Amino acid sequence: MSIDRFLDYITHEKKYSPHTRVAYQKNLTDFRDFCEVKFEMKQIDQVDYSQIRAWIISLVEKKNTNRTVNRKISVLRSYYKFLLRTETISTTPLKLHRPLKISKKVNVPFSTDEIDRLLNSDLFSANYEGILQKTIISLFYYTGIRRQELIDLKISSIDFETASIKVLGKRNKERIIPLLVEAVDCLKIYLSYKKDLSLRNQNYFFCTETGLKLNERFVYQTVNYYFGVVSTKVKKSPHMLRHSFATHLINNGADLNSVKELLGHKSVAATQIYTHSSLDRIKEIYVKAHPRGKKN
């Protein structure tokens, strides 16, 4: 089946993560199921744009955002490009498709004050779960890693001698992130609590009290709950801590290329989104640095 071949392609050749493979598979099977019910078509490599357009309409009617719809169609686009490359089809049904318009949202990162108030608070319980949750939030802010990267972090990935961690990012690309002294101390405190659990064959750095690997929901709820106490911002997620990490570095003079490497972005263009929330800081630097600004 062409879907299976495509999934093998993105896994073995494109080196997409298992998480991405699952998401792509769901997208494609959802579309296939829609075509089978709506048009009695079992092979989606035979569709034309009218079927795709009908799916788009159904997604919008189900209250999916334009951003979500565009993401789903992007998966289809990759799938049909693969079919073109393997000469399974001669033309893509998405050739003339234009993405739905998306209103630009400026996600406001957590302030340094909000983060300090949380990490310096006594909100975290003095037991394993409390230390685990505090360490999760701390590591997000100290390193800017993604949620899945944190979940997949291995004990062997932490190098206390060089004060750094090795992160396996998207497309299985490795990167090294340095750790501040405070981050190293935080990780060591967590490990001291973890050792008391007497877990066997536990390769993952973070785990539940029973030794299970963390899941995405637990990590999200941890960040959302604690920042709900100290912040009134609408979006309180692990990605917002990543956003805060990048924004605060840029605000304090870090160049985009350095932040790009720390975040594991493929290009600087992906990193530039974090400069929007730093505009006031950029204006301040501009006025102070420009010869005409200095005179005023």
227, 233 in Cβ contact below 8 A? yes
Taking the CA atoms of residue 264, residue 265, residue 266 and residue 268 in that order, the dihedral angle to the nearest 10 degrees is -130
Tell me the C-alpha distance between 230 and 143, whole Å. Answer: 21
CB atoms within 10 A of CB 262: 21
Q: Quick check: is 19 catalytic?
A: no
Amino acid at site 205:
F
Show contacts of 212-217: CB within 8 Å, 24+ apart.
Answer: 213/151, 214/150, 214/151, 215/151, 216/147, 216/148, 216/151
243 is catalytic: no
The residue among 226, 278, 233 whose CA lies nearest residue 254 is 278
Q: Catalytic residue at 248?
A: no
Q: What CA–CA distance (Å, rounded) separates 283 from 287?
A: 6
User: Do 48 and 65 touch, CB atoms closer than 8 A?
Assistant: no
> Rounded CA gap, 64 and 57, in Å?
10
Q: How many residues does the chain have?
A: 296
State yes or no: is 170 an active-site residue.
Answer: yes
The residue from 134, 147, 248, 265 that is catalytic is 265
> Which residue among the candidates 194, 236, 242, 248 is catalytic per the annotation?
242
Is residue 294 flagged as an active site residue? no
Catalytically annotated residue among 97, 170, 175, 281 = 170
Q: Is the dihedral of CA 112, 141, 119, 218 positive or negative?
A: positive
d(CA 213, CA 290): 52
Catalytic residue among 16, 79, 80, 274: 274
- Out of 19, 175, 239, 281, the active site residue is 239
Query: 61: which residues sit within 8 A by CB, 6+ positions away?
Result: none
Catalytic annotation, pick one of 146, 194, 236, 243: 146
Q: Is-catalytic flag, 12? A: no
Q: Which residues are catalytic?
A: 146, 170, 239, 242, 265, 274
